[in-house]
Amino acid sequence: MIQPSHIWRLLQINRILLRHGLDEIVLATRWFRPVRWVWFLLPWNWVPRTRRPRGERIRRALEDLGPVFVKFGQTLSTRRDLLPADIAAELARLQDRVPPFPGVQAREIIAAAFEAPLEQHFARFDDAALASASIAQVHTAQLHSGEEVVVKVLRPRVEQTIRRDVSLLYLIADLTQRYWSEGRRLRPREVVAEYERTIFDELDLIREAANVVQTRRNFEGNPVLYVPDVHWELTRRNVMVMERIDGVSVSDLQTLRERKVDLKRLAELGVEIFFTQVFHHNFFHADMHPGNIFVDTSNPAHPAWMAVDFGIVGTLSPSDQHYLAHNLLAFFNRDYRRVAELHVESGWVPADTRVDDFESAVRTVCEPIFNRPLKEISFGHLLLRLFQTARRFNMEVQPQLVLLQKTLLHVEGLGRELYPDLDLWQTAKPYLERWMGEQVGVRSVLKRFRRHLPEVMQVLPELPLRLDGAMRQLETLQSQQQRVEHRLVELREQSRRNSRRGLLGLAGAALLLSSALIFGLQAPPGAGFMDVPPAAWLTAGTGLLALAFAWFGTGD
For the four alpha carbons of 458, 460, 463 and 464, in that order, the dihedral sign comes to negative
Q: Cα separation of 416 and 225, whole Å?
A: 19
Sign of CA dihedral 263, 266, 272, 274: negative
The whole-angstrom distance between residue 14's C-alpha and the CA centroid of its chain comes to 31
Q: How many CB atoms lie within 10 A of CB 50?
A: 5
Does residue 127 carry a catalytic annotation? Answer: no
Express the helix, strand and coil content of the chain in percent, nearest 5 each: 65, 10, 25
Annotated catalytic residue: which of 96, 165, 287, 296? 287
- Cross-strand bridge partners of residue 150: 140, 242
Partners of 138 in the β-ladder: 131, 152
Q: Report d(CA 124, CA 146) in Å as an integer.
A: 9
CA 494 to chain centre: 57
For the chain, how big is the Rg over CA atoms in Å? 38
Determine how β-strand 122-132 pairs with β-strand 148-154: unpaired
Q: Are 202 and 292 in contact (CB under 8 A)?
A: no
Cα(193)–Cα(283) distance, rounded to whole angstroms? 20
**Exposed e or buried b for every residue in 348-371, given b needs 16+ CB within 10 A?**
bbeeebebeebbebbbebbeeeee
What CA–CA distance (Å, rounded) separates 406 from 398?
13
Q: Where are the beta strands (DSSP E) in 31-190?
A: 122-132, 136-143, 148-154
CA pair distance 22, 389, nearest whole angstrom: 30
Q: Which residues have a catalytic role annotated? A: 287
